[in-house]
Amino acid sequence: MFFDYDSYSYYVRPGFTDARKSFRTLSCIVDEEMNLDSRAKAMFIFCNKARNTLKILVWDNGYWVLTKRLEKGSFAWPSNDDEAISITKEDIKRIIQGEDIFRRLPQMARKIIY
């Protein structure tokens, strides 16, 4: 790929975004709803309602839209629509591998006592 991933910031838009949206609509969402600059050195990540498609909007003297669609399974995705979430490049890798990085506390195993 052409990007120096270490030099970018990464932001997730919580909730679901219609996967049919183009770069124009995605950039408006970043600028107006996420209150961020869509032309910044950042990657903005969106997920559809079925949670099987990610779209990444990137500015590089023009917009790029990168798409990843799963044939089976779904991505873990935050449903809180309050604000954009800043994440790291390592978090992106973990999301794509199927990990839930948005869980704040680990789920405790339940012990059944008889």
Average pLDDT, the chain: 85
Token pair of 54 as six digits: 């990610």
Regarding predicted confidence, which is higher, 27 or 78?
27
Give this prediction's pTM: 0.81
| pLDDT digits 0-9 by tens, 23-63 | 999 999 999 999 999 999 999 999 999 999 999 999 999 99
Regarding predicted confidence, which is higher, 81 or 15?
15
Q: Is pLDDT of 13 > 90?
A: yes
Query: CA–CA separation, 10 vs 4, rounded Å?
Result: 13
Q: Coil, strand or helix: which one is 5?
A: helix
Note the pLDDT of residue 67: 93
Return the closest-CA partner of residue 12 out of 69, 78, 74: 78
H-run or E-run covering 66: strand 63-69
Beta-carbon contacts of residue 19 (< 8 Å; ≥ 6 apart): 46, 48, 53, 55
Query: CA–CA separation, 111 vs 114, rounded Å?
Result: 10
Q: What is the mean pLDDT of residues 60-80?
A: 89
Query: CA–CA separation, 109 vs 42, rounded Å?
Result: 38
Note the pLDDT of residue 50: 93
| pLDDT digits 0-9 by tens, 88-103 | 889 888 887 778 887 7
